[in-house]
Amino acid sequence: MVPLRDENPIKITPYVTYGLIAVNVLIFFYESTLPPQQLTEFFYHWAVVPKQLTESFSTGFGGDTITEWGTLISAEFLHAGFLHVAGNMLYLWIFGNNLEEKLGRAQFLVFYLLCGVLASLAQWFFAPESAIPSLGASGAIAGVMGAYIFRFPKVRILTLLPLGIFFTTIRIPAMLFLGIWFLQQALYGIASLGAPANVGMESGGVAYWAHAGGFVFGAALGPLFGLFGDDDDDLNYALPVTTTSEIEDQA
């Protein structure tokens, strides 16, 4: 299933969401200019390498340690391929703007970055001796989705659904769409325990525990960031059911 948009209008211009998308895309364009060897070195320097992070926890507090811990943030802006960045930015575009409106721009940015850090630590926890870089915005975006599912459970998501060689669109509540997504990540994470991971989606490696962990942390942090306030009427917000043709006519 691929989300196309949510039926959850906003009243602001989500500058932080757009800015995050722009930064991720620009960095990916820069990555695409690097030759393979230099790109690998770039990933090892700026992405989270679990083994190096493990070693940093046992060393003194110094410049190298600070740099290594900094990869918990810098890794959130790196991607290993076009499908990797395109998929992540699609999810951020759909689910990020509503949280930015509810949290406020500054608080949303802090929430996003913190979810990404905690998601990377969740992945590190399950493979602390891995020497393979972990990168991508998906952990932070999973945190956004984890908060979204509880703030807007009944908002409908227009979803592209493959049926063999054909495709159709359906509208399903966020609770169902995001619930299925989280269950998939958790099950894949359990199935991948003990299996080696690769860098990036295109080479077959997916940081499932970063996805699942980010989702859980986002759901837990949402109330702490004041996501559930006095205007909780939209917790039950949902547009009436319409057909796909009616949706297209309204667009």
Domains in the chain and their CATH numbers?
2-250 (1.20.1540.10)
Burial 189-213 (b: 16+ CB within 10 A, else e): beebeeeebebbbeeebbbbbbbbb
Give me the helices (H) in 2-158, please. Answer: 15-32, 36-46, 50-57, 63-74, 82-103, 105-126, 138-151
Q: Running DSSP on this structure, what letter comes out for residue 161?
A: E
**Residue 57, CB half-sphere, CA atoms under 13 Å: how many?**
10
* Per-residue model confidence as pLDDT tens for the chain (251 residues): 899 999 999 999 999 999 999 999 999 999 999 999 999 999 999 999 999 999 888 876 666 677 889 999 999 999 989 999 999 999 999 999 999 999 999 999 999 999 999 999 999 998 888 888 999 999 999 999 999 999 999 999 999 988 888 889 999 999 999 999 888 888 877 776 655 444 433 333 678 889 999 999 999 999 999 988 655 555 544 444 443 333 333 33
Give me the helices (H) in 138-192, please. Answer: 138-151, 174-191
Query: What is the distance between the alpha carbons of residues 126 and 10, in angstroms, rounded to a whole number?
Result: 38
Residue corresponding to tokens 């989702």: 215
